[in-house]
Amino acid sequence: MSKFIVCNVCSLMLFVATSAYGNPASEHTIELQNVSRQSLPFEDERDFEEHKRGFIAEPPYRSIVDESGKVVWDMGRYDFLLTGENFDSIHPSLQRQATLNMNYGLYEVVPGMIYQVRGFDLSNMTLIKGGTGWIIFDVLLTSETAAAALELANSELGKRPVVAVIYSHSHADHFGGIRGVVDEDEVRSGKVKVIAPRDFMQHVVAENVYAGNAMTRRASYQYGMVIPSNPFAQVDSAIGKATARGTIGLIAPNMGIEDDFEEHTIDGVRMVFQNTPGTEAPAEMNTWVPDMKAFWAAENITATIHNIYTLRGALVRDALAWSKAINQSLYLFGTQADVMLASHSWPRWGNERIQEVMRAQRDAYANLNNQVLHLANQGVTINEIHNEYKVPESLRQQWSARQYHGSEFHNSRAVINRYLGYWDGNPATLAPLSPSDSAPLYVEMMGGASSILDKGGKLYDDGKYQLAMEIVNKLVYAEPGNAAARSLLADIFEQLGYQYESASMRNSFLSAAQELRSGKLDAVGVHAGGPDTVRAVTTSQWWDAIAIRVDSKKADGINFKLNLITPDNDEQLVVEMNNGTLTNIVGVQVPDADATLTINRSDLIPVMMQQKTFADQIHAGKARIDGKAEVLAQLQSTLVNFDPMFEIMPGTSR
């Protein structure tokens, strides 16, 4: 069981030490914020009543640290949101959401039966009291925060063993804390059930390994990992405050939900599981608890419109399928439910209220899909749609359909991308120049850097930030070392960030602004593909990941066939380098192989984790190579180690 330490006086600068504040909101930004304050339904305060309902206790600490004393979670850095002040540097609607997400502590959802710990991580931990112990829905992102959440529940409600864990879907903030609440031996023995939707492990690996390096770097922008928390920087992540910075684990489920609907009794509690693939995650499921009239909506229905395309990078989601899954849940469960709760945000109580929220979210995703295609079928392109698609006013006036996580800007482009791809039909955009190649021509034609800076400054002063961004961004790409250009673009990004309601967009603009001013950081903390994920990868998937690291320019001309045998799991593969490309196939051996490598899967795992090399294992007698041993050196010579903090904005490498 993972240990955790709590801390009352830890530094509030959990993620990054940097300048405390940015520039104030401009008069143009303030004017836009005031329009939002006047046009949105702030008189509807039901969310504020619901988010505090059932409060039992908060812990006597605001920070959690790991065994080494490093702060992994600090709720106290957001206390500025509790002062009641309206900040012009935050979109009023986003500030409202950020304040609601200040839930911190233990809450009762169904008297004596269902509880939630909120504010210990990006996601919630939900606990159902079974006949003999706790059934936990989602276990947060890290073992440290998960252990703290479970201890809080046990201290307030009486200690109970964990008898089952349910992973609602394949995103790390819902399974990563597993080692903070159960021991793996208990899962292997069957003493503790770990339940997951179908294809769970397949999608965990695909999302966290193949593009993990790029996704982690991009997530640092989406979630504001590279900026501090204050009214001028990161204030929220839409579905929670932020991601914790601890130990991410993974224990493979020992029970899968394969059918569209399955009913099971878990520790005396009847549950109906609903698989909803292709919604918020490629593997996801809702759960209906009929005897408590409680509907668990996973991450399919939260207090925001979610991402059809998430800025960290992922497969584009299906807005229509998402809408249909919600509609199915509405008619099967929502018409009966007395409470609806989810892995983020707060519950809704009362059947009328539940149906209202479910319909709003159903209609928001359906409208996005239908109206974007309505416009696309009239010739509106992927490069225009975000300025053409408008959310209906009836949905804009419902808080549960606001664009805190996703936004109509990047979601509308995602729908077109899903159906029609990235090309807008104009051959000029089919194979365009890279920005760094095209920008010098633009700068030359615009009269050079001084002309652009002069015009960009005037546009900034006039509050025409998007126009200013268009020309100054070109200058930054043409002249990455131009400090004045980077500074002006940072100022432009900053005001745009203040104006966006979407936390993802705000964080991205403000993160870019900081890096333009100060350069990129050396590290951002959480990395994709931790040790448990690597163990879960099949041998073939690992070779697929290695193939991504092969530099074809170095590999072209190197040709070999390698038979690989892992006796302890009776597996055989052929790994082949040909045409500058590494491939593998399972269940095959070839007689003309250049070499045969024999290594137990258990001894391969340290190599997969980059703790050992094949040469180390051969020298230690844990592997044997027959034939041309140089093929391993040839392979190694082609591999590239990815920089986890690669440059996003030009000129920001220090």
335 phi and psi angles, rounded to 5 deg: -70, -15
**Over 50: is that where the pLDDT of 229 sits?**
yes
Q: What are the strands, taking DSSP E only, across 186-268?
A: 193-197, 255-257, 261-266
Measured in residues, the chain has a length of 654
Per-residue pLDDT tens over the stretch 548-571 = 999 999 999 999 999 999 999 999
Q: What's the whole-number mean pLDDT along residues 417-425?
A: 95
- According to DSSP, the β-strands at 193-197 and 162-166 are parallel
Quick one: which H or E segment has residue 220? Answer: helix 212-222
Question: Residue 524 pLDDT > 70, yes or no?
Answer: no
Say what the pLDDT of residue 6 is.
44
Residue at a domain's end among 328, 343, 364? 364
Please spell the DSSP secondary structure of 4-36, one letter per residue.
Answer: -EEESS--S--S----S--PPPPHHHHHHHHHH
Residues 230-250, mean pLDDT to the nearest whole number: 95
Instruction: Give pLDDT, residue 652.
Output: 87
Provide the residue range defining the domain that includes 36.
Answer: 5-364
The pLDDT score that the predictor gives to residue 644 is 87
Poorest-pLDDT segment among 171-180, 315-324, 337-346, 531-540? 531-540
Which candidate, 93, 57, 56, 71, places its Cα nearest to that of 10?
Answer: 71
Averaged pLDDT, 65-91: 96
What pLDDT shows up at residue 651? Answer: 87
d(CA 331, CA 229): 41
pLDDT band at 187 (very low <50, low <70, confident <90, very high): very high
Residue type, 404: Y
pLDDT at 529: 55
Where residue 654 falls among pLDDT bands split at 50, 70, 90? low
pLDDT tens figures, 468-522: 999 999 999 999 999 999 999 999 999 999 999 999 999 999 999 999 999 987 6
Indicate the pLDDT class of residue 206, thresholds 50, 70 and 90.
confident
CATH number at residue 271: 3.60.15.30
Grade residue 21 by pLDDT with cuts at 50, 70 and 90: low
pTM of the predicted protein model: 0.92
> Which pLDDT value is given to residue 122?
96
Q: At a CB cut-off of 8 Å and minimum separation 6, what does 588 contact?
A: 572, 573, 574
Q: How far apart are the C-alpha atoms of 392 and 390, rounded to whole Å? A: 6
* Residue 261 DSSP one-character state: E
Confidence of residue 97 (pLDDT cuts 50, 70, 90): very high
Domain count across the chain: 2
**Which of 313, 330, 364 is the last residue in one of the domains?**
364
Does residue 512 lie within any of the structural domains? no
* Cβ burial, residue 8 (10 Å; 0-12/13-18/19+): exposed
Q: How far apart are CA 368 and CA 227, in angstroms?
A: 31
- Number of CB atoms found within 10 A of residue 434's CB: 8
Q: What is the largest CA-CA distance in the chain?
A: 77
Structure tokens at 121: 């991580």
- Give the amino acid at 87: F
Task: Name the CA radius of gyration of the chain, rounded.
Answer: 26
Q: What is the pLDDT of residue 408?
A: 96
The per-residue pLDDT of the chain, averaged, comes to 93
**Does 353 fall in a domain?**
yes
Task: Evaluate whether residue 513 is within a structural domain.
Answer: no
**CATH code, domain with 601:** 3.30.1050.10
Name 127's bridge partners: 115, 136
Give dist(CA 470, CA 292) in Å, integer: 55
Q: Tokens at residue 557, please?
A: 């001309």
120 CB-near residues (< 8 Å, 6+ apart) = 64, 73, 75, 104, 140, 145, 146, 148, 149, 152, 244
- Find out whether 101 and 344 touch, Cβ atoms under 8 Å: no
For residue 607, give Cα distances in angstroms to 143, 183, 633. Answer: 25, 25, 14
523 falls within a domain: no
pLDDT band for position 523 (cuts 50, 70, 90): low
| Distance of alpha carbon 503 from alpha carbon 91, whole angstroms | 9
Helix (H) or strand (E) holding 296: strand 294-296
Domain annotation covers residue 584: yes
Alpha helix (H) residue ranges in 479-620: 483-499, 503-518, 531-536, 539-549, 552-555, 601-608, 614-619
Please report whether residue 412 resides in a domain.
no
